[in-house]
Structure 1
């Protein structure tokens, strides 16, 4: 009996001294250059960073249009070169002043991060949007009306929201409206083809499930890849460029499949 008591006390002492497992966040952006990232811009071949749209400066990834003559629907995306399935993506973004007024009106103070995206190398030159799901970022407009951020948009995809497939291209979150020029922290929690959670500044603002190929909006894709109804278990992560200047920083990921 004495031996059992001693063993139990030793076990408790070990557990009390055991350190919690440290989360291993991976920095996707090294703060210096676009190593491990690939650009795909509408009307251009994969790898062509037209007009130096995406650039690494001042410890940030910046989206800029100062070398453009016309926007010409040059919707762009910057893809991290490795796909992920189960993870938490965390980053900060802020809208800066310049919006190209020859871009569509809906692109003002509008950007986002795509996930479960197709590989950019599978996109034809004239494909405008990747088949993917988007965590959409919106900033306040001149009218000052409420405009939530951390929404869901679905180019070439569908999601299940409140128990059914929702046919809307975008579903608004419950977030506050945030002023421009302010850094906002966005978190995206992705559990393969099951639950997806959006957080803004630490607050859950939207949840949905079963991301899958379907819907519209994406155009001139390879039809062999548009298998409507196919659940999306994994894919690439991409930062968006669609006419509005924006900065991204502190882009990191926690791979939940290894925990």
Structure 2
């Protein structure tokens, strides 16, 4: 049964501010029947051959027992020879430079993975030992994590370095001709410092150069204990995080030959200081291409961009460039009807929806609901929230991963703003008989490869959503005043294994 709607939103007259201040009223306001004129997706769409379930897990990159899948490189020894045991495994940790201190200089080197990696999160813990060695004896202790290591080995190879150093942990180094783009301000020592609101900076370092981008802010270090590092490496972009604080964001990583730098080995430095590493884990990012038979709503090179309409049914006016669609916001605070939402031209029932999104970096002093706010509405009725919730407590049923106003995510799987994130939504539409609803809609939500909603019922339409009805409905992407970006959006029949 379809509603007799015109495509204009009755519920959009509800203040956008109301949505933030009283989320428990979600579903009590009636929204537009955006599905009233949308054609139903073809029933003949074949299902994918493989499982759509995107769940990823943290996998040890270092097993805590031996150096399997790693190898050493030292200038005087080359690959795989470490007779003085610069790199040892002790009590589940990697112990670097547990060797006697002498007047002799200890050569620099590194322990590197034997395979290259791309599109991943890497986390680890480090703590300092007591020893320092010539030529850095008595100087601030220094080490680092190298990623996107390519080309010949050497001191140092072409790579990006996540600096670990007393007083400078979180700096980023572009090694041996690597170049990048970021935003920065003038920092100490003449080097730029990452600033999310600084001036655009695109480097043009020559081969053989070693250049630093200083961390965003000074950070305290647990000098005698363990410190947490994480990096998110996505294509030619990277974000570095120290103890939950973003210290650097870069895009447009390029190798010495100017080609995009999107993969490479991972290495741990020995640079004149005793250091321990443990809990070195890697988790793939859940970037999933559309399977066979999927309906592509937005793909590379703007494939499917014409699959979107304005809320009123005309052409969508969100700009699309390089396969990325950006919210073209007309939202006025306090006037929900001003929102420039877009909707899919097709309507869907039971569905697996995959989309990737990037929330913009905003000032940390803003209220959370003003930071990267958007949402994806299933059937135009049920909103799964999009928000910058990195590092935030989940306590209001309105954070990233929430069914807005109804069910919080079970865990905070958010990545930092400015990073491509993923949603995979396994949706089962409400069931109806004789014009009466007999079963609630249900959804399973995977955020960045982690299941954060497990087949939860959705009893009512969420605030600003269209009223519940027996008809199928479109996918709606919300304009809530933030320039959120979207890419790689596709739908397929739901996977029975969710």
Fold shared per TM-score above 0.5: yes
- Give yes or no for the alignment of 1:112 onto 2:139: no
Q: 2:73 aligns with which of 40, 45, 52?
A: 40
Structure 1's unaligned 5+ residue stretches are: 2-19, 140-146, 215-226
Instruction: Note the C-alpha offset of 1:184.
Output: 0.5
Tell me, in whole angstroms, the C-alpha distance in 1 between the residues paired with 2:139 and 2:73.
18
Tell me, in whole angstroms, the C-alpha distance in 1 between the residues paired with 2:243 and 2:129.
19
Q: 1:153 maps to what in 2?
A: 173
Q: 2:202 maps to what in 1?
A: 165
Tell me, in whole angstroms, the C-alpha distance in 2 between the residues paired with 1:138 and 1:207.
19
Instruction: Note the C-alpha offset of 1:148.
Output: 3.5
Q: Which has the higher contact order (CA 8 A, sep 6+)?
A: 1
Could you list the per-position Cα deviations for residues 62-117 of structure 1 after superposition, in whole angstroms to 9, with x for gaps in the alignment? 101515766546111111122111010000001111111x1246963111100000
- Give yes or no for the alignment of 1:81 onto 2:110: no
The SS at the match of 2:221 is coil
The SS at the match of 1:51 is coil
Could you list the per-position Cα deviations for residues 147-176 of structure 1 after superposition, in whole angstroms to 9, with x for gaps in the alignment? 241110121112212132245711111241
Verify the 8 A CA contact 2:127 2:277 in the aligned structure 1: yes
Q: Return closer, same or farther for 1:26/1:213 CA change in 2, 3 Å cut-off.
A: same
Tell me, in whole angstroms, the C-alpha distance in 2 between the residues paired with 1:59 and 1:233.
30
User: Could you state the TM-score of these two structures normalised by the residue count of structure 2?
Assistant: 0.40
Q: 1:187 aligns with which of 218, 224, 230?
A: 230
Q: 1:94 aligns with which of 120, 123, 127?
A: 127
Q: Return closer, same or farther for 1:31/1:88 CA change in 2, 3 Å cut-off.
A: same
Structure 2's unaligned 5+ residue stretches are: 2-52, 184-199, 289-498
Tell me, in whole angstroms, the C-alpha distance in 2 between the residues paired with 1:70 and 1:115.
32
Aligned residues: 214
Q: Return closer, same or farther for 1:160/1:105 CA change in 2, 3 Å cut-off.
A: farther
- Give yes or no for the alignment of 1:253 onto 2:296: no
Tell me, in whole angstroms, the C-alpha distance in 2 between the residues paired with 1:148 and 1:128.
20
Tell me, in whole angstroms, the C-alpha distance in 2 between the residues paired with 1:81 and 1:243.
23
- Give yes or no for the alignment of 1:207 onto 2:236: no
Could you list the per-position Cα deviations for residues 119-166 of structure 1 after superposition, in whole angstroms to 9, with x for gaps in the alignment? 6xx43xxx3211111000112xxxxxxx24111012111221213224
Which residues in structure 2 correspond to 1:213-228 (within 5 Å)?
213-214=255-256, 227=257
Tell me, in whole angstroms, the C-alpha distance in 2 between the residues paired with 1:133 and 1:107.
23
The SS at the match of 2:254 is strand
Q: Return closer, same or farther for 1:161/1:71 CA change in 2, 3 Å cut-off.
A: farther
RMSD of aligned residue pairs (Cα, Å) = 2.3
Say which is worse superposed, 30-39 or 69-78, in terms of deviation: 69-78
Q: Return closer, same or farther for 1:42/1:30 CA change in 2, 3 Å cut-off.
A: same
Could you list the per-position Cα deviations for residues 11-39 of structure 1 after superposition, in whole angstroms to 9, with x for gaps in the alignment? xxxxxxxxx96431110111111111010
Could you list the per-position Cα deviations for residues 176-223 of structure 1 after superposition, in whole angstroms to 9, with x for gaps in the alignment? 131422211000101121x21011112212111122224xxxxxxxxx
The SS at the match of 2:158 is coil
Q: 1:49 aligns with which of 77, 82, 95?
A: 82
The SS at the match of 1:95 is strand
Highest Rg: 1 or 2?
A: 2
Tell me, in whole angstroms, the C-alpha distance in 1 between the residues paired with 2:129 and 2:218.
20
